[in-house]
Chain A
């Protein structure tokens, strides 16, 4: 069974105002098949964690490690991490003008598998996944994320999740900006991928509402760059009622 371990992770980012410390010692272990929710207020460093796992060059790891089945992820390039089985569903997917969804998906699948997928089964898989996500077929010939609505961009992320079949996926605020119908469709896609491939999921969110559709095994509350509290799904219910206020109080008291 695969396991993703994050140990004492400290991450800095360079800004115009100088170096800022964003992550301050994150410890987290995710096993294949598990769903972990990371919840926290804006600015707590949730997205930094997501992008650091994926290897975005903006973030500098100053201490700690990330291991995938014992392999040092921090030494891998962004594309090597993806080929090792990691996936990041982005909060703001970028447009790639002139590159169609079809071409992009095939190129990514070929890179991840190390060989081109067989044309017939691949087309069937793509079409099936698109139908499940209620995406019409014209979508495939559009340029990646170009002119997509917020909901379409998120569906396109989950489409990739279903087709690329990673071992671990980080979903960075996939629920933000979605209406309830789109939220259901996207959640179904995540649950489908989970039951089909048994991947481990790190679900990063500001709100509890996506947790009505995707049931986490573990909930972590993220405050000021580290995990402030963890528990089972019941912790999410408590957050829904109380918000993050008490963590802020606790945090400022320690400073």
Chain B
């Protein structure tokens, strides 16, 4: 656990993190930003945003030439939702946030056109946007999801097949809108996917953002949420199942930047098999204007076998004293033997009891998606992951 800034020198419990003697006194909001990859130094792997990642496995995406042409995108039909392509200099690009690291900036520098998903209309609807057939060429992509004021929708951004992709996804949630975005990574075993999501949430609007990472050799999805106006609300959820040799990472940032904003961050993951790896970094910044903020972030990992590693780093930075609540929790544990005993004492065989507990652990996140069909499909996908044991 570490803090990226010291609000007051005498703040209770602050001390150096075990991996370095110095607590960096830099607020998250002052991190360097640029859309131009040339503004970022080459990656060494020692940077705080890269130190947990296997950077050598995707040097082509962070410093190489990228194919920025349109990727194959298919969207299901839903009234009030449209998909189109807009040029990179369109005014609708760059409103939710800009890159803070090199992979993101490389994508931004290279993409040709952005896919624009526009959501309108107050009725609830679901649309699935599937990216497939990206192949093994290093690629850049840019997506803008825009929810009009008071609109409501669930947008699933799904990735299947092969991919070597670095991309940016902007999510603009208009006043009073209620948007759910599910980023679903079901890539093939050798795929690499680096993504930065930038969300800007307007007045009294709500975003439910869910990252589900199941397939891919290296998958790194970093969602940043800017609670920009009064009453903005984000529910940031994540679910990952890391198998042998898989690296699944998420760096979550929530910036409370207006009064009476609320955030809940819940990421849960299971790790199974030699070299299964997960990284979760959760930064919450409560700015000095964000009075009445209510914030809580947590990460839970369930370790199923030996040879796995889960890194979990929550950071909380508070610049105002007038908040409703702010807290964080992180726990990485093995199987709870008492849960197994309870289920077995009711006649349920051990292997089935284990599956029930793991499925239950992860289902807590699935249950919150709010789309029965997708929830069922994910439960089946998790079931398949568990069978792999």
Q: Which residues of A contact B (CB under 8 A)?
A: 54-57, 77-79, 81-83, 87-88, 90, 93-99, 103-104, 107-108, 111-112, 143, 160, 164
Contact = CB atoms under 8 A, between A and B. Distances in A.
A55 B337 CA distance: 13
In the A-B complex, the 7 residue pairs with the closest CB atoms? A98-B360, A82-B347, A98-B363, A78-B344, A108-B346, A99-B360, A111-B347
B344 A82 contact: yes
Interface size class of B (residues with CB under 8 A): 20 to 34
Interface of B: 336-339, 341-350, 352-353, 356-357, 359-364, 367
A121 to B, nearest CB: 19
Contacts of B345: 54-55, 78-79, 81-82, 87-88, 90
Given A96-B356, A98-B360, A90 B349 contact: no
A87 B367 CA distance: 31
B319 to A, nearest CB: 34
Nearest to B300: A97
Given A79-B347, A82-B345, A111-B352, 6 more contacts: A55-B344, A78-B345, A79-B350, A94-B339, A98-B359, A99-B359
11 contacts: A55-B344, A79-B353, A82-B347, A94-B339, A95-B339, A97-B360, A97-B364, A98-B359, A98-B360, A104-B343, A111-B346
Nearest to A81: B345
Contacts of B342: 90, 93-94, 96
A43 B182 CA distance: 52
B151 to A, nearest CB: 30
A96 B353 CA distance: 11
B241 to A, nearest CB: 14
Nearest to B348: A111
Contacts, number: 79
Contacts of A83: 347
Contacts of A164: 346-347
A76 B347 CA distance: 12
A57 B341 contact: yes
A105 B52 CA distance: 42
A211 B108 CA distance: 75
Contacts of B362: 98
A99 B343 CA distance: 11
Contacts of B357: 96, 99
Contacts of B352: 107, 111
Contacts of B338: 94
Contacts of B348: 79, 107-108, 111
Contacts of A77: 344, 350
A90 B341 CA distance: 11
Contacts of A98: 359-364, 367
Contacts of B363: 98-99
A185 B362 CA distance: 34
A78 B353 CA distance: 12
A98 B342 CA distance: 15
Contact of A57 (B337, B339, B347, B349): B337
Contacts of B346: 79, 82, 104, 108, 111-112, 160, 164
A143 B339 CA distance: 13
- The interface centre, meaning the residue of B338, B343, B347, B363 with most chain A CB atoms within 10 A of its CB, is B347
A104 B344 CA distance: 11
Contacts of B344: 55, 77-79, 82
Nearest to B365: A98
Contacts of B343: 96, 104, 108
Contacts of B349: 79, 111
Nearest to B357: A96
Nearest to B346: A108
A101 to B, nearest CB: 12
Contacts of A57: 337, 341
A171 B360 CA distance: 27
B347 A108 contact: yes
A58 to B, nearest CB: 9
A232 B339 CA distance: 37
B347 A94 contact: no
Contacts of A111: 346-349, 352
B361 A97 contact: yes
Contacts of B341: 54, 56-57, 78
